[in-house]
Amino acid sequence: MPEQLDGGEAAAAEPAGGSGETLTSLRSGALVVVGALVTAGLVAASVYAGPGIAALVVAAGGAVLAWGWPGILDLPSPRGTSGVLLLAALAVAAAAFLTADAPLLRLVPAAVAGAVLLTFVHQLLRRDGRPRLVTTVAGTLTGIAALASGVGFVGLSRLPHGDGVAAVAVIGVAAGALLDHLLRGEALRAWLLPLELVVGAGLAVALSVAVAVPWGVALLLGVVCTGVSHALRRVVTALPALVAARPQLAAGVTTVLLDGVVAYLVCRALLP
């Protein structure tokens, strides 16, 4: 018997008949695409708007991740885990916003360290016998890592070319999520990764002309960010829990937030 999901979603998460066709249809639900497209658009616009708006958008995306992450991994004590992740989302976003001078994001490691400590405090306070303790800790820490990656977009809002880099980084992610949902045939899915990389890189290079980002940097961002988001979707959207709305939305948001650190590092390393 599968373990019960948060919100009584276990019955819905079990594929009918266990058929391969049903599992294939769950690999990229419509709400994964919606979450990815909306988050990509909001992130790109918020980086143009400034650090305050970027921090709010990243915190809101982190709240959605916290809301659905325990359901994605079918973690025990989902409410406590969501609470830890929500506090972590607020902490890392605030740490990124409060750092206005170089080195940027220097307070984020302290916020992450506090979230890690809170993860273990949560386990000490559990009263359910702590089943699957290692899985719960590992799953929570993975969620914290995704949240910390997202604050790279807040850092980009303070860099000279950061707004253009953010737009270039997320366009391939959004296109990849859409292709992942639309191309469902097994013959097409075998070529899905190279197709997404080509489309993501092409869109990034095309957009780089409008946002004044060198085409070589745009090409790198298009390939790496599209590949990272595709890898995340391939891992999480194959899980049975992704039939439910909450995990799908969280997966879509996470596929964008995870690329924040990539875009930030590329901008700092390759652009003046």
Asked if residue 219 lies in contact with residue 197, where contact means CB atoms within 8 angstroms, the answer is no
Instruction: Please report, as a single letter, which amino acid is at residue 173.
Output: V
Residue 201 has a pLDDT of 95
Tally the C-alpha atoms within 13 A of residue 104's C-alpha that lie toward its C-beta: 20
Per residue in 190-202, pLDDT (tens digit) is 788 999 999 999 9
- Where are the domains positioned within the chain? 10-270
Per residue in 132-151, pLDDT (tens digit) is 889 999 999 999 999 999 99
Low-confidence residues of the chain: pLDDT under 50:
1-28
Residue 40 backbone dihedrals phi, psi, to 5 degrees: -60, -45
233-236: long-range contacts, CB 8 A cutoff, minimum separation 24: 233/27, 233/28, 233/32, 233/176, 233/177, 233/180, 234/27, 236/72
Residue 25 has a pLDDT of 39
Tell me how far apart the alpha carbons of residues 5 and 77 are, in angstroms, rounded to a whole number: 10
pTM of the model: 0.84
Residue 6 has a pLDDT of 40
Residue 164 has a pLDDT of 95
Helix pair angle (30-49, 51-73), 10° resolution: 160
Residue 45 has a pLDDT of 96
